[in-house]
Structure 1
Amino acid sequence: MPRWTVAYDAGRPEGRSCGHADQAEATAGEPPAEARATAASPARGPSDGGPAPAAGCDRCLAAGQSWVHLRICLTCGSVGCCDSSRGQHAWSHAVRTGHPLARSAEAGEEWAWCYEDELFLVPATAPGRARDA
């Protein structure tokens, strides 16, 4: 049984399905502690004037850029910035590696995104939240 399942309407009212939800290697639980600490930090990158976080979007940090939110690849655990961030490094990681699934690294958020199918996913254990529930 996959750890993630398509969310109700998945952001797509026509009810599409995801053929990748069972490919996730990372758990549907909390993101790694370093990603949670970075996501919850008021300084989301070096351009905010604060110290650079210990973990975050490595490509943004290397370029001296900030990010909006972080995403964690559910295949390899790579941390990248979201599509609202200037670098869109989580998306570029998905394209470059063929790893289609990434989850939010934001504290309190429990959802994932399939870049290939363009669908929102929720933990399979969340009753009443899945499309098939």
Structure 2
Amino acid sequence: MSGLPGVGRLAVVSAAVDPTVAPSGTGCVECDAAGGWWVHLRRCAACGHIGCCDDSPSRHASAHWRQSGHPVIRSFEPGEDWFWNFETDDYYDGPELAAPQSRPADETAPGPRGRVPADWVEQLQARGH
């Protein structure tokens, strides 16, 4: 259990959560394709899509939810096991998903190494984060 506020309710294992689906990779699919960067990574609990969090410049995890209708994500950060439901705006506990459980522990956050701009903090502050 992650100790986050509101965590403790189990996410319904249904079409929203498929514990057998492997993640799409170890980085944000769209950021990797475009040469972008992210703050933290999120994993779609239905299809395994890896997207960047809403603090990231491109917010691909929530864009995936809006496009696909898959509302439940799990953190893809080392040491984090919480689930989030975009439809209910709430944290949940959920089943263990197919490995790997997170991005590689030696990869930086923000990441990926080599693509994070030197002024990344200023860029996020300019956006209001």
Match of 2:48 among 61, 67, 77: 77
Q: 1:39-63 CA distances to partner (integer Å, 9 max, x unpaired)?
A: xxxxxxxxxxxxxxxx311211222
SS in 2 for 1:120: strand
How high is the TM-score relative to the length of structure 1? 0.57
Measure, in 2, the Cα distance between the counterparts of 1:59 and 1:77.
14
Do 1:21 and 1:101's aligned partners in 2 also have CA atoms closer than 8 Å? no
Deviation at 1:8, TM superposition (A): 7.4
Instruction: Give ranges in structure 2 of 5+ residues lacking alignment.
Output: 97-129
Q: Does 1:106 align with 2:99?
A: no
SS in 2 for 1:65: coil
Identity of matched residues, %? 39
Match of 1:64 among 35, 41, 55: 35
Q: Which residue does the alignment assign to 2:60?
A: 89
Do 2:19 and 2:95's aligned partners in 1 also have CA atoms closer than 8 Å? no
Instruction: Give ranges in structure 1 of 5+ residues lacking alignment.
Output: 1-6, 12-16, 36-54, 126-133
Measure, in 2, the Cα distance between the counterparts of 1:77 and 1:68.
19
Match of 1:10 among 6, 9, 16: 6
Deviation at 1:65, TM superposition (A): 1.1
Aligned length, in residue pairs? 90
Task: Look at both structures and tell me which one has the larger radius of gyration over its CA atoms.
Answer: 1
Which of structure 1's runs of 4+ aligned residues deviate more than 4 A? none
Report the AA paired with residue 26 of structure 1: P
